Structure 1
Amino acid sequence: MKMKQYLLECTPFAAMVIVECLDVGLTTLSKAAMSKKGMNHFIFVLYSNALATVILLPSSFLVNRTTRQPLSFSLLGKFFFLGLLGITIMQNCVFTGISYSSPTLGSAMSNLTPAITFVLAVIFRMEKLDVGSSISQIKIVGTVVSISGAFLVTFYKGAPIGSFQTRRSTLQPLVSLSAETGNWVIGGLFLVIATISLAAWNIAQAAILKGYPSQLTIVAFYCLFGTFQCAILSLIVVKDPSSWILSPDIELISIIYSAIFGSVVTFSVLTWCIDRKGPLFVTMFKPVGIAIAAFMSVVFLGETLHIG
């Protein structure tokens, strides 16, 4: 009995580590599809969430048909808001940022999520802040360090790691280096917006779960609304008709991976963990992705690691 209880307590931790690994795999695979095949990231987000909706929506009706609470217009409005935060804004900004920078920077910037989530949790009274408490002081210091580090990696791209890479970078034209740094900053700013949106999504979902605990229904409907929003956005910003056509190679693979592991699995696990452990818990695992992202970016994308 004790062993069963222990395993139940460990499950959220193991689930979040798996989610971080899946997330890094998604950003690396999508970066490869966008940089090597030229796939449009708006179309990528749209198609992957559309496929996820096709999987999730019927499942939510089958699984929760006897226990699901009735849906109201107010609740649907909240799902629409979740789709806006967690899909339309967050995902599009993430993949835009990664297209300008790298998956490693994306994982590094995600370390802002715990800090911003903590600030929002305090503002909305989900977290108590006692300045005299050592625990609160540690959280405050961690928040300041996280935000400072995020600005550092956004506005400063240091020298490449490794003698060969350093030598090669010194031979690059100044204009090329300037353009590369500019892209890095632009990518970082998009990733900051994505992180803020993700933190707000965590808080909003925790609040909704208190009044509507049907996790699969929440995930299915905000995927549905996010898909509609992304469809409208894509119709506005994507002018090239050929961008809507997928190649049966890494483009299709990345969309299937994103739909199944990036949306269905990840969103379901995050919602479940937020319901069990709260919004701050799911943000604690973001640092795990940095080392994984750095390794995969170098090995699979041939990218250069930099100091800072």
Structure 2
Amino acid sequence: MKLAKICNIIHGLKPVLLMVAVQTAFAGVNVLYKLAANDGMVLPILVAYRFLFSTAFIVPLALLMERKKRPKLTWMILLQAFCCGLFGGSLAQNFYAKALSLTSATFAAATTNLIPAITFLLAVCFGMEKLGWKTCPGVAKITGTALGVGGAMLLTFYKGVDLHLWKTNVDLLNGQHHTSNVQYSSNRVMGSLLAIGSCISYSMWLIIQTNMVKTYPCPYSVTALTSCMGAVQAVVFGLCTERHWGDWKLGWNVRLLTVAYSGMLASGLMFTFITWCVQMRGPLFVSAFTPLMLVLVALAGSLVLNESLNLGSLLGSVIVIAGLYLVLWGKSKDAKRLSKLTTSESSKDVNVVSNTIADTMTPKIASMACTSSSANVDERNELPVKSSCEKHDEPEIAEEV
């Protein structure tokens, strides 16, 4: 019994565990992005290679895993896949890369914390979520989203005193700060708009994907289609902007490691996890875990990049986790309420059907009863007639004899 309870608990926590794994993988992508940019790799080329590696990894997996249950591919699904590849792939990533060049890495990373709020507003506009101002789950979701954004902003912009909790003496950057391909500009307004556009694109991807998995409930195939579309778009954009063929060469170095990791793991397997969670819990649930990435990046930076962990990172992490807990609590209450409504509606439908069947069968049963009773009466009437005839026949036969 205890093992069964543990299995049920783990099954209920599966979406949460999957999203923690997703944000952990995305934190690794950020660390590798820093290493690749330090090596001089152009970010649009990195994005193109990322989706090429993702397509090469996830397409055979989708053909193998979902070969028997894949529904028919329609033009509408292809259009949704094109939009998913655009908003969740090439557009979001290239907007983010351009915002890095026009502003700073700190500001671009901080804007990603707007994704939960933007996703919540879009989900409300498209009828996927309800505000619920007067309900506890609704207030919890709104408050948790605000706390997540606020905690991530605090983690990004407020430093405070350094906290020397551990010392690993590991610095993968080797003290180098090579920024030859990151040109900072005074046009911060355009950079800010591009960073916000990247967040809107990511949120739109979650909304479109929610509608796509309803008609095409195959997570591997959805990720494969998204990766294919994103690869075509990113390669076309990369060829149009970066025509120096020497920048496209990959060697056995950190560039190959970055595109392989971000393509096969982050954009291949982790996008599939995101599709699962969107299908099970909706877009707001997925976006609520976005600020958790900054917490993991801060921890990873202090461990392998020799970056100091400060008071702002600690306080922001606590606030982010508190906001995430509130959002998850509100979503769980909404799920329980919907399950109760579904159960009550199904029981009502069963009662209506049973009453209808009873009303339909009652006249038939009554008619059958009348028929059987009349048949019994006829049999009862025939038996005496038969016996009386037999009695009258016996004397006649005796007289003849």
How would you bin the TM-score normalised by the shorter chain? 0.7 to 0.9
Gaps of 5+ in 1: 164-178
d(CA) in 1 for partners of 2:149 and 2:14?
30
Give the corresponding residue for 1:119.
121
Give the corresponding residue for 1:256.
260
Matched, 1:191 2:199: no
One-letter identity of the residue aligned with 2:124: V
One-letter identity of the residue aligned with 1:20: Q
**1:138 to 1:53, Cα distance in 2 relative to 1, 3 A:** same
Matched, 1:292 2:296: yes
Kept in 1: contact 2:110–2:152 (CA 8 A): yes
1:269 pairs with one of 270, 273, 283:
273
Q: Spell out the pairing of 1:104-253 with structure 2 (5 A cutoff).
A: 108-141=110-143, 189-253=193-257
Kept in 2: contact 1:161–1:304 (CA 8 A): no
d(CA) in 1 for partners of 2:61 and 2:188?
40
Deviation at 1:57, TM superposition (A): 1.3
Give the corresponding residue for 2:21.
18
CA RMSD of aligned residues (A): 3.1
Q: Spell out the pairing of 1:33-48 with structure 2 (5 A cutoff).
A: 33-34=36-37, 36-48=38-50
Kept in 1: contact 2:31–2:297 (CA 8 A): yes
Give the corresponding residue for 2:88.
86
One-letter identity of the residue aligned with 2:119: T
**1:6 to 1:299, Cα distance in 2 relative to 1, 3 A:** closer
d(CA) in 2 for partners of 1:140 and 1:229?
35
Deviation at 1:222, TM superposition (A): 1.0
Matched, 1:8 2:24: no
Gaps of 5+ in 2: 164-182, 314-401
**1:180 to 1:300, Cα distance in 2 relative to 1, 3 A:** farther
d(CA) in 2 for partners of 1:9 and 1:132?
27
Kept in 1: contact 2:95–2:194 (CA 8 A): yes
Kept in 2: contact 1:20–1:289 (CA 8 A): yes
Kept in 2: contact 1:28–1:293 (CA 8 A): yes
Deviation at 1:27, TM superposition (A): 0.9
**Secondary structure, counterpart of 1:297 in structure 2:** helix
TM superposition score normalised by structure 2? 0.64
d(CA) in 2 for partners of 1:45 and 1:9?
34
**Secondary structure, counterpart of 1:88 in structure 2:** helix
d(CA) in 1 for partners of 2:298 and 2:152?
16
Deviation at 1:186, TM superposition (A): 6.7
Q: Mean Cα displacement is larger for which, 87-96 or 111-120?
A: 87-96
Q: Mean Cα displacement is larger for which, 119-128 or 291-300?
A: 291-300
One-letter identity of the residue aligned with 2:123: A
d(CA) in 1 for partners of 2:123 and 2:22?
22
Kept in 1: contact 2:89–2:227 (CA 8 A): yes
**1:85 to 1:190, Cα distance in 2 relative to 1, 3 A:** same
**1:162 to 1:58, Cα distance in 2 relative to 1, 3 A:** closer
d(CA) in 1 for partners of 2:292 and 2:276?
20
Measured against aligned partners, the alpha-carbon deviations of 1:228-270 in whole angstroms (never above 9, x if no partner) come to 0011101111132211112321111111111122111210110
Kept in 1: contact 2:274–2:286 (CA 8 A): yes
Measured against aligned partners, the alpha-carbon deviations of 1:61-85 in whole angstroms (never above 9, x if no partner) come to 2222211111112211110010000
Measured against aligned partners, the alpha-carbon deviations of 1:142-164 in whole angstroms (never above 9, x if no partner) come to 5566667888999xx5678559x
Measured against aligned partners, the alpha-carbon deviations of 1:161-199 in whole angstroms (never above 9, x if no partner) come to 559xxxxxxxxxxxxxxx979588776554322221111
TM superposition score normalised by structure 1? 0.82
**Secondary structure, counterpart of 1:274 in structure 2:** helix
**Secondary structure, counterpart of 2:290 in structure 1:** coil
**Secondary structure, counterpart of 1:131 in structure 2:** coil
d(CA) in 2 for partners of 1:93 and 1:17?
25
Deviation at 1:23, TM superposition (A): 0.3
Kept in 2: contact 1:105–1:153 (CA 8 A): no
d(CA) in 1 for partners of 2:306 and 2:91?
28
**Percent of residue pairs identical:** 31
Measured against aligned partners, the alpha-carbon deviations of 1:101-155 in whole angstroms (never above 9, x if no partner) come to 33x655543322211111001000011223333443444455566667888999x
Deviation at 1:98, TM superposition (A): 4.7
d(CA) in 1 for partners of 2:287 and 2:34?
23
1:71 pairs with one of 70, 73, 83:
73
Kept in 2: contact 1:42–1:230 (CA 8 A): yes
